[in-house]
Every structure is written in structure tokens, then in C-alpha cells.
Amino acid sequence: MSLSVLNNISALYAQNNLASTQKNLQNTLTQLSSGSRINSGADDAAGLALADGLHANVAALNQSARNASDGIGLLQTADGALSQVTNLLNRAVTLATQAANGTLNSSQVSAANQEYQNILSEIGNIGSATNFNGNAVFSSAATTIFVSDGTSSGATVFSDTTGALSTAKVGLDATGASVDFTASSVATLTASSAQTVLTNLTTAIAGVAYQRGQIGANINQLNAASSVATSQSENLTAAESSVRSTDYATATSDLAKFQVLSQTGISALAQANQTQQQVLKLLQ
């Protein structure tokens, strides 16, 4: 091998290899300390894009599960309120049945009507006072619950259309139309109006029962959507982890390898630099 003082090729090779080893050693230490195999686009551009995309999908799915949970809370609140309405209507049936009894005197019928009026008022109060997270549950405006499948295109949209709840609109019929609780403007319970009131009450109770059935079905739908979103989130989180997370077995092995290469590289560079000193010996 020729000796030269202008260019020390061996030293240049040793220096380049040492720089590469030090870079790999630093990257390995970063992976071990951060727990992430990909800490910049330079580490794995394709892997970073895939992992970030999966992370965005997971975030959407997790929020969808929370949306579904909020929707379930809203519907359970509505169902609880309608349960109270059913109890009130059942009591009204008892009062109307009593009023239909021709043996009651006027004072007794008047007392039954007074309680009946209180029931009407309480149903109206339930309709106006029932709220969830500061929003009226029984409103003419629909409440939309958005449940995403983790992409921008796929989604399940559920709309709560329970509608306004008042003494004039208690429950829904099979077509979704409002049930007129006070048909023919029968707002006073008397012996003569008792049969008509009973007919209206029967219709109202059936309407409330139908609506509670619809609410129950929607709760089941949102529970299923929440379970699917949670399951998908878990699967995508595992997929993201497999792409992004550090493989500690491999990284630990690489650390030992690069530490040895770093030490031998430093030694090789020192030896390469000493070769130029041999030129001086030739001149002595």
C-alpha cells in the first residue's frame, strides 16, 4: 500500500464509517428512550404516514364511542321522563274511571277533576323541564348523534326525533305523527266526558309506549355502534403500535452492535491516522 501525506484514504473510510455508526447509535438510543421506532419522517416516511393515518382513525372512533354514550344518556333521560308520564296517565285513567261512576257526587267528581288537571300540568312540566347537558330533550328540533366508522366517508347518523312533549302531544303513533291527548278539546274531567277522556288516555298511553319502544331500539343501536367503534379502535391502536412502537429486542441488539462498531471505528480511525506518521520515519 502506498503512503501519502496529501490524502489518507484509510482515515477517510474509517471516519465515514464511524459517522454512520454514531448516527445509527443515536437513532437506536432515541428509539429505546422514546419507545417509538419512528421519531421523524427520515426514520420511515411511509411508516410515519401509515401510523399517523391510523392514529387519526383511532381518534375519530374514540370520539364516536363518546358520542354514542352521550346519545344513550340523552335517550335514557327521555325514557325516564316518559316512564313518569306513563305513571301519570295511568293515574288519570283511574280518575276518569272513577268519574264515570254515576254514584259519585259533584264534590267527588270535582276533586277527581282537580287531580286530573294537576296531572295535565305535570305532564307539561316534564316536557319543558327535562333536559340533557343543558338541552331540552323534548324539542321540535331533532338531535343528531354522529357515529363515525373511523373514515371521513363512512358514518352512521342517528337522529333523536322525540318531538315536543305536552298535554297535546304525548307519544307517537306508528307513523310517527303526534298523538292528540286532548282530542275534541276535552280538558275537563266530568261524569259526561269521562268516557271520551278514557279513550284519549288509552291512545296516549299506547303512544308513549310506542315511543319508549323506539327509544329502547335506538339505545340498542347506539350500544351496538359504540361496541363496534371501541372494537375497531382497539384493533387500529394495535396496528398503529406495530408500525410505530420500538421493537425492544431488535433495538437492544442493535445498541450492542453499534456500541461495538463505535469502539472499533474509533480504534480504526486512530490506526489510520497513525499511518501518516510512518512517512516521517522514512524521512529521518
DSSP the chain: ----SS--HHHHHHHHHHHHHHHHHHHHHHHHHHSBS-SSTTT-HHHHHHHHHHHHHHHHHHHHHHHHHHHHHHHHHHHHHHHHHHHHHHHHHHHHHHHT-TTS-HHHHHHHHHHHHHHHHHHHHHHHH-EETTEESS-SSPEEEEEE-SSSS-EEEEEE-----BTTEEEE-TTSPEEETTGGG--S--TTTHHHHHHHHHHHHHHHHHHHHHHHHHHHHHHHHHHHHHHHHHHHHHHHHHHHB--HHHHHHHHHHHHHHHHHHHHHHHHHHHTTHHHHHHH-
What are the pLDDT digits (tens) for 57-110? 999 899 888 888 888 888 899 899 999 999 999 999 999 999 888 888 889 999
What are the pLDDT digits (tens) for 198-244? 888 888 898 889 888 988 988 898 888 889 889 999 999 999 988 88
Q: Which CATH number fits the domain 67-243, given the four candidates 1.10.3720.10, 1.20.1330.10, 3.60.21.10, 1.20.58.340?
A: 1.20.1330.10
Show me where the domains of the chain are located: 9-35+246-283, 67-243
Residue 181: pLDDT band with limits 50, 70, 90? very low
Stated pTM of the model: 0.70
